Structure 1
């Protein structure tokens, strides 16, 4: 016999139905409440049983999902590479994973005796305590920041801490879930990079030349102090052609060396004129080269190094002007020199003409009478005076003889004297009479002259050779 109304109902109305134990319990509870009330029909009971069975199925599915979710959480918690810990409102740890134990050096039992303050570097205890208290007090959900942690051995490391607030609805309290990532190496790399950037920036800032960096749209994105000193401190973000050349459009000839560097990635140079913030014109020797590239290697920024060559350009201009002046002076001097050459030629010709005239006059008008006096009867005193006069007259009329003696050092005084008479057209007999010598003596000296003058064994006339001498 059925023990309860539910058993009787199930026995009478659902003999062929497979009813779960949970449905039976729910149905018994339900019937106990309504047994004294209006008795439901079998159809109503069947519908209610089905509804209760659906509720039980949903409940079991939810339990299974929760169980799987909890299992997944345990797997993630225990096997996560990051250090994960659960802590209460006072900061005491409730549970930690293996990565956390390896990170800090404490086992799970030791960890449960610790608080957040106990694993925090003294410099960051205050801010860590304030953030945790604020999390529980204001229920802000989560927070994240970088802080210094302390291991069991006392060593310090940097960690990226993320803390979230978890509500335990079943037990009615809140716990904090913290995830720690060791970023010590990243911090070192960042600090090394910052130090390197600082050194590079200090080096670039110390360079006396103008340095600026432009993007592909020719916007100035960085400059050194020299550039700011020349063009002003408010030039970042402006177009380079507006700042350096006070232009409204790109420089000519187009494209400029900066755009050329963007296009072909090569180094380009040129000299250009710029205008400083006070309107003063300057000359720069500029070198443009790619400074930054993206992951594909495409240039994203070009650096332009410009050296002030204003003094050099001014010196070059002065040299050019000086060169033009020298060229004009040279032309003037050439004209003067040509005129002087003409004057000197005329003077030489006039001097030669005068000398020839003087020589001819002395020979024709004076020397004959000197020879007559020489052949007359003169006393010794008169003969001395006559020889002096004759010697001086010969010096005056014979510049040729001086030239001949200076050119041919091996000629004797008598040979030089005879050469002068030959040049004047005197015959051997006439020369012999003038020098009170025999013709044989004169012929001997003439042969020596030909030999010393290089005329031996040639048909060159001696007088013609002497006349041709300068």
Structure 2
């Protein structure tokens, strides 16, 4: 019994170790992996998968792997493959397709699917591994567009192009030359020898010229004639170059064919065409270069030479012997690029580069490996964009924003100071006004009141009363309220209202203003009406004091 228990324990231990290994591989495989049950429900998903589709495990567990994460263009095909896999018609499949993340963005992934079945062949689970190929897809699409542009340029160039095999068989011919000759591509490519297109009396001259081409590598300004499909003769001017393999064996020719009947026009087209092909690399608007794995420059275009501050590409190639130390401001940057290229086809990076005069240029580089047929790296090819001004502008903008924030803060402080000063001035003005009014009321009006009680002539009394009334207009806030446009009291009504407020009777007011008492009574009624006191009970003097 003890032996059996020991055997079971050993078996359990043997099972735990593979399970741990499987889990470690599952979580750290470096690709998105998901394990589904036979019904397509999620059993497990590693962190790479969750990051790839942008969902959390809580949102996925115990749910089927729906087609929502697949681009609609691939749903039908994916469902078909999965059904084939479930039925056992296929063990698994590999396919590339677009996935839709939770946030709506798209990712290009390489899908590998495999089934796990028991000994009776019943489906237990499905393992799906997805490798993120988004960046590679972008690069491939870019290269595809570039290749299509080159192909369009080749096929629709203003001159004819063709390539010949070693025996003269036509390997390639662009649409332009085919249209000149009146043949279709199927009639010519791989089926016709070039001697089939030239007059019989020119065959010997062609063979001699073709032999020289294969030996010397190029032939220029070869005048000849071609026979169109309808029998017409086309006068042409041909320039050819030979292409060799790495061992120097002839592979094919590259020939440009010009309609010699319009030579002047063709000469211009030739110059443009040659400039396009000869300067496609050298005169690109962005920096381009090729260099060996150990840092030696093989080729550099004019744009990149100018970026680095050199007068010509020849000067760069003669001076720069080690790009890591002479071009890269930090040699470690090149080491990082090489290390990254071991894992990716393309590397994108922003690095500082050293110019000829020692100044620094910030470059945005795209680097790739150019691989030989045997898989070895032939050289590295790079595209560099000078983003120094953009970086400087960004830094200047950040500095400007910082300065503006400081100025704004200073303005806020100045504004606060001005508000304090204005408030202080307003308080001082109010205090001055109060002192002014208080001085009139305490230091002037009492003496006028005493003077009125002294024996005065009638005209003196009138002048005194007028002066008192004007001082009352100036000094009394109550009088200022009464003279407002809202109340619309006349000057006489203001004088009477001020005297009523002080407790003067109509008779006393009449004597002070040298008017009849009934006139004063009339004005008193007007005051009550204008102040809205007509229907209110109480003495006018009390109502005026409460109004003030």
Give the TM bin, normalised by the shorter chain. 0.3 to 0.5
Larger Rg: 1
Larger fraction in strand: 2
- Report the TM-score when normalising by structure 2: 0.41
